[in-house]
């Protein structure tokens, strides 16, 4: 196995929790790390905590100071009209993103992990770095949105631009459009943003259409591939392969930052897509290949969305790390068609806690994911979208 990868995790990121009933549950992190440990692919001494802290200077690379001040004030909330008014002004009193005690510290911990991963790759310490708590791509400079308080991905990208002067390709595979990152760099020709997601006609945040291509000097450095609801594996992977390979060949980045939201799975409760674990086997494999072909191997991976935290997220995120370290199981999954079982002790540890029966293997039993009757129509529409998305390349 390759040792050219570092796994970053800040313990403070586990406190990023909006409430017991909220779908964004940091238990996802625990389940993924435990899965990797039980299969011998990650040891305690391989997990690095970031040395830096995300202070105002770092956060202000993307966020406005008045917003930072508000988040810090709400981090130690005192009930009353003033706090409610302040939270409402900055997007922190919604059902999606309500403020909670310690919100600034937890969100800052996530930023520090993503920036540490970026520094590790850009400084030459490692070729690849994975920060699974990162990928909070909906936060804006002046407000929170979509479960996201600070936009760690955008901050890491801006840090790379200012510190290393590198050209960045940001790849977002979350089922929700990577709007926050896109708008931050919408006029920047040195940051190419690519997002493949369910069309915003039916899903939050309602953006990410093919005509969104950037402005001013950044025109032509923004790409969106909005897919039809109920898209399945074949069409998803075709759309990803056709468009991403064209984009990276045209942009020629120095480094790739990828966001690995895994909520396009058929089991995910917050989208209408109909994919299986097959796309989460292929996504990191494709990005790994392209990083070596175009960016001298420089690849920083972040987590993101994913709300079936028991059956989907641990397998999908584990496969990112397993691909990074070139673990033999990634070859087995390709050759055996996914018939490789999950570690029995991981299943034994968590089966009783899961509200669903846990899958026994890395890939899905597709008899539990029935085919979509409109497959041909959906595929045709997605092919039309592919062509429009890259027509200028």
- Mind telling me the catalytic residues? 138
Who contacts 203 (Cβ-Cβ below 8 Å, separation ≥6)? 175, 176, 197, 229, 271, 272
| Torsion, CA 141, CA 128, CA 120, CA 12, rounded to 10 | 60
Q: Are 18 and 144 in contact (CB under 8 A)?
A: no
Who contacts 68 (Cβ-Cβ below 8 Å, separation ≥6)? 56, 59, 60
Who contacts 240 (Cβ-Cβ below 8 Å, separation ≥6)? 173, 196, 225, 279, 282, 283, 286
SS3 label, residue 26: coil
* Angle in degrees, CA 228, 231, 237, rounded to 5: 110
Nearest-CA neighbor of 16 among 67, 95, 61, 75? 75
SS3 label, residue 346: helix
Beta-bridged to residue 169, according to DSSP, are 192, 256
The separation between CA 392 and the C-alpha centre of its own chain, rounded to angstroms, equals 27
């Amino acid at each position: 196995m390759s040792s050219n990868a570092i796994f970053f995790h800040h313990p403070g990121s586990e406190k990023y929790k909006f409430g017991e009933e909220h779908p964004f549950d940091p238990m996802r992190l625990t389940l993924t790390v435990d899965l990797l440990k039980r299969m011998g692919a990650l040891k305690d001494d391989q997990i690095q905590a970031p040395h830096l802290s995300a202070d105002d200077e770092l956060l202000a690379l993307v966020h406005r100071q008045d917003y930072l001040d508000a988040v810090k004030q709400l981090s130690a909330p005192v009930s009353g009209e003033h706090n409610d008014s302040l939270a409402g002004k900055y997007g922190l009193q919604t059902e999606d993103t309500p403020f909670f005690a310690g919100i600034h510290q937890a969100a800052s911990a996530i930023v520090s992990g993503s920036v540490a991963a970026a520094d590790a790759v850009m400084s030459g310490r490692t070729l690849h770095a994975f920060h699974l708590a990162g990928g909070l791509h909906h936060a804006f400079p002046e407000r929170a949105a979509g479960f996201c308080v600070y936009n760690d991905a955008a901050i890491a990208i801006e840090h790379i631009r200012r510190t290393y002067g590198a050209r960045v390709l940001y790849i977002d595979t979350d089922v929700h459009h990577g709007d926050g990152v896109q708008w931050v760099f919408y006029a920047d020709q040195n940051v190419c943003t690519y997002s493949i997601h369910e069309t915003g006609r039916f899903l939050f945040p309602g953006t990410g259409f093919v005509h969104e291509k950037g402005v001013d000097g950044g025109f032509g450095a923004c790409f969106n591939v909005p897919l039809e609801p109920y898209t399945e594996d074949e069409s998803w992977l075709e759309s990803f392969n056709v468009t991403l390979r064209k984009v990276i060949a045209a942009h020629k980045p120095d480094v790739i930052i990828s966001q690995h939201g895994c909520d396009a799975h058929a089991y995910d409760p917050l989208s209408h897509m109909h994919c299986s674990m097959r796309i989460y086997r292929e996504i990191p494999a494709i990005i790994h290949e392209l990083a070596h072909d175009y960016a001298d191997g420089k690849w920083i991976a972040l987590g993101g969305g994913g709300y079936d935290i028991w059956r989907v997220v641990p397998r999908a995120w584990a496969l990112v790390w397993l691909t990074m370290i070139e673990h033999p199981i990634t070859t087995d999954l390709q050759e055996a068609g996914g018939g490789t079982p999950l570690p029995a002790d991981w299943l034994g540890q968590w089966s009783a806690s899961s509200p669903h029966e846990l899958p026994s293997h890395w890939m899905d039993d597709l008899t539990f994911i029935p085919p979509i009757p409109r497959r041909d129509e959906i595929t045709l529409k997605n092919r039309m979208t592919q062509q429009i998305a890259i027509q200028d390349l």
